[in-house]
Structure 1
Amino acid sequence: MELIISLVLTTALLLGSPGPAPLALAGVGASFGFRRGVGFLAGILTGLLVVIILVAAGLGTLFTAYPSLKLLCQLTAGGYLLFVAYKIATAQGGVTSQADQAPVFREGFVLNLINPKAYAAFLAIFANNMLQTQSPLLSAALTGAVCFLVAVVVDTLWMAAGAKLRPLFAKPQQAKWLRILFACALAGSVVIALVD
């Protein structure tokens, strides 16, 4: 039981800290509301599930063997996340005029699939907090399942928190400055991830 509690807390802290996906979820919740952001949230979670499977399957070993591949993935991810930050910052109007432009499943999926923070978090989790069973495959599957359930809760809370800010986005001028703030926070998280 102690290992499960440790795994849940570690996962919640790593995934819940401000980074590309949580900040994007908060931004989508604030700009479009929770209901309109559900597709984006589903994409984020599906992308994260793929990351968990890749890390459990040994992606860390591949990155260790080929550091240039890891750097290429990080630079590609950083570029895409900066593009997402640009889209958030340059959106026009208040929430009522944004209704038809809510991000969709595909955008959330791609964002988390190439999110360097997700890979780093799960490499650390699988290296230090793997649940132990008789079978290495079962250990990886159980660890991944617990991590994914924590991610569902944490990511949903980030988007719900953003949705609570939605009334602040009602006025176009106010919305502009809040979007710029979210975009700068997202860009800053990309820079920090690339420097680490």
Structure 2
Amino acid sequence: MATFALAVFLLLITPGPGVLSIAGVGAAFGFRAGLRYLAGLFIGTNLVALAVVSGLAALVLANPVIRKVLFVASTFYLLYLAWRIAFAGSRVAFIEAQSQPGIGAGLLLQAINPKAYAVNTALFSGFVIFPDALTVEVVVKFLIVNAIWVPIHLLWLWMGGVIKRLNLPQKIQRVINITMALALVGVVALAIIAAF
């Protein structure tokens, strides 16, 4: 079980669309605003885990057309999120506090987040804990994953919020937002490279 928990920690702490976007939302809009987005990510990641455990994800992703559509959708959505984060600290008129990503945006990100599917597949299909009790194993794994997922994502959101509260000059805030956005674009680039 300790090996499983360590694997969960390492897979979740590494930068991916979820942690990068939650840190970016925290830096751009603040901790409190980021909690709604975090709730969406949380619900979404658990729905992805359920899809993986039930076999629904494998069934859907076995279709190459659906796979390509989801890949293109995730690529464009991550680029859109990167754009929103990069320009959140600017004076662009149509990016105001009312357009902060909320629960729906977090749900959507996880639904099309390739890392969410890969991580959940690795965690739920590997690391056998209770070989003779599949239901117990799945429940225990959900508990462990969420017990690690929540603090890690709260930490990333908090770090983003700290950057926001530092009340840095607009130029530095913009550099931070652009850096986080570029990191998300880097994840997209890696996903595209891995797909070909």
AA in 1 matched with 2:2: I
Partner Cα separation in structure 2 for residue 179 and residue 17 of structure 1: 19
Partner Cα separation in structure 1 for residue 66 and residue 99 of structure 2: 34
Of 44, 48, 66 in structure 2, the residue corresponding to residue 47 of structure 1 is 44
Kept after mapping to 2: 8 A contact 1:89/1:176: yes
Cα 1:98–1:60 shift into 2, 3 Å: closer
Identical aligned residues as a percent: 32
Of 58, 72, 75 in structure 2, the residue corresponding to residue 75 of structure 1 is 72
Kept after mapping to 2: 8 A contact 1:47/1:108: yes
AA in 1 matched with 2:28: S
Q: Which runs of 5+ in 2 are unaligned?
A: none
Partner Cα separation in structure 2 for residue 89 and residue 141 of structure 1: 38
Instruction: Map 1:148-187 onto structure 2 (within 5 A).
Output: 148-167=146-165, 170-187=168-185
Instruction: Map 1:104-143 onto structure 2 (within 5 A).
Output: 104-143=102-141
Instruction: Map 1:26-41 onto structure 2 (within 5 A).
Output: 26-41=23-38
- C-alpha displacement at 1:186, in angstroms? 0.6
- C-alpha displacement at 1:98, in angstroms? 5.2
Partner Cα separation in structure 2 for residue 43 and residue 24 of structure 1: 12
- C-alpha displacement at 1:57, in angstroms? 0.7
AA in 1 matched with 2:13: G
1:58-113 CA-partner distances (Å, limit 9, x unpaired): 1453267434433332221111111111111233249xx95444321111111112
Aligned residues: 191
Partner Cα separation in structure 2 for residue 79 and residue 194 of structure 1: 12
Kept after mapping to 1: 8 A contact 2:28/2:85: no
Q: Which runs of 5+ in 1 are unaligned?
A: none
Please give the TM-score of this superposition, normalised by the length of structure 2.
Answer: 0.86
Kept after mapping to 1: 8 A contact 2:30/2:165: no
